[in-house]
Amino acid sequence: KMAGSSAPWVGSAYLFLQSTCKTIVLPSLYESSQKKPSVFKALKLAFADSTGSVNGVDMLKVHCSHPHLIVQLKFCKQENCRRFLQSYREGALQESLQNHLQLSLAMTTVPLEMELKAGNEHLDSMLKDEDRCLECIYREKPDRLQDAEITELEECFRSLIVHQSINNNMAVKDCASLNSPPLPCPQGSSLSPQVTFIFQGQEFANRMLTPDDHQKFAKLVSKKWKQVGRSLQKNCRALRDPVIDNLALEYDREGLYEQAYQLLLRFIQSEGKKATIARLIAALEENGLISLAEELLGLHSNEDCS
């Protein structure tokens, strides 16, 4: 039982977040390298409000599963988890997160819907039975360590807090300093993801490639997928010769869509967070695929949120 065990109390849960405003798409905001630190900061501060401590609950990973932003949470003390549940049940967490998102993202309002799960259990249906909720969370042991990306954002957040304590009057403005985290990039500055990039004279927020980008690329690039691959291979070891020719042979029967899909899959898997829209757009521009670049940037769609 929880109380009788001498081992430390550790449990895990998933918090599902969705904005009820159609123009605010939380996963898209988090996927934007420009907005991600602001969303992370809002989450961190709201969780601190709910538990009474910046370290009351740990974020292990943030999943983007449109239209939901899903946060995997780890609790290391029963009392912190209990405080979190009380705050969630009373609506205080929701209100706090809405306020912090509004401030961090400089928006008028960010209305939210929330859902809490532990394993297969939907905790919203049993919130009045706090001990049962605690038991469900305790049963779900965290299945991962903190993501490298979250660790990086945590470091940023800590340095920001220190800076704010030195210079309180810059507290709100300082969220902008998170846009380009002051962290060393061992791979060299040529590959460090820029916050924005220019295409056709317009400025766009850089972001990681999404499944939607992946599918559009595979569908529309057609026979030029090899040329795009050779543009990407200049700073992507996983696409060096003879990988591209091998993909052509291996997926010859499946056709152009699958060949292009597998090419970009290799790029995304090997580059991780550095597999950005800016790098793909540059490769498309280099090969004259301007229409496809415009499609990926939403310039052909009607007023879509990005």
Query: What confidence score (pLDDT) does residue 151 get?
Result: 87
What is the crossing angle of helices 211-220 and 277-286, to 10°? Answer: 10
Specify whether domain 11-157 bears CATH 3.30.70.2660.
Answer: no
**Do 11-157 and 196-297 have matching folds?**
no
Q: pLDDT tens, 213-226?
A: 999 999 999 999 99
CB contact set of 34 (below 8 Å; sequence gap of 6+): 179, 195, 196, 205, 206, 207
In terms of Cβ atoms closer than 10 Å to its own Cβ (0-12, 13-18, 19+), residue 49 is: buried
List the domain boundaries for the chain: 11-157, 196-297
**Are residues 78 and 2 in contact, defined by beta-carbon separation less than 8 angstroms?**
yes
Q: pLDDT tens, 93-133?
A: 999 999 999 998 988 889 999 999 999 999 999 999 999 99
Residue 170: is its pLDDT beyond 60?
Answer: no
Tokens at 294, concatenated: 């415009």
Q: pLDDT tens, 140-169?
A: 999 888 888 898 888 887 776 655 544 444
Nearest Cα to 71, choosing from 52, 90, 84, 58? 58
Architecture of domain 196-297: Orthogonal Bundle (1.10)
Min mean pLDDT across 2-16, 55-69, 78-92, 109-123 is at 2-16
Query: What confidence score (pLDDT) does residue 225 get?
Result: 97
Tokens at 94, concatenated: 């929701």
